[in-house]
Amino acid sequence: MSSLEALIGLLLFSFITGLLYGRFSKPKASIKFSDSIILRDFNLTKALMFKLVNNRKSIMVKPKVSVTLSLSEANNKGAFVNTFYALKLEHQSITYLPTTWTIVHEIDDESPFFKFSKEDINK
């Protein structure tokens, strides 16, 4: 009987230790974004660009990014409706992120920005 108690005690101790280690040892990303977005010439068209920075000393492995644009557009009744667009990016993932990554959305005929002028985009 004491052998069974010792076995259960060791299993319980290892289980609790594993749970605590798993809970508190998970790495968390710390990313900062640039304060401004740049509109510039890119591959015979224009592109929106911004940077993100790894705020930790460690290297992020296989980071992925997705960007969603939210526009309030007037419908045919004059009411404003929120429309969401998933922007197509030059690269949605990279192998590793030691320091910075420039996110690029090329404004082509499939882009939701295509119908806007440069001044409208700057606003």
Strands (E), the chain: 31-33, 38-42, 45-54, 60-61, 67-74, 80-87, 96-97, 100-107
What's the confidence (pLDDT) of residue 105?
A: 93
Tokens 């606003």 belong to 123
Residue extents of the structural domains in the chain: 28-122
Q: Evaluate whether the domain defined by 28-122 bears CATH number 2.60.40.1400.
A: yes
pLDDT per residue over 55-98, tens digit each? 888 888 888 999 998 988 888 887 888 889 999 999 988 998 88
Residue 117: what pLDDT?
81
Q: Judge if pTM exceeds 0.75.
A: no
pLDDT digits over 12-61, tens only?
Answer: 888 888 888 777 776 677 889 899 888 988 888 889 999 999 888 888 88
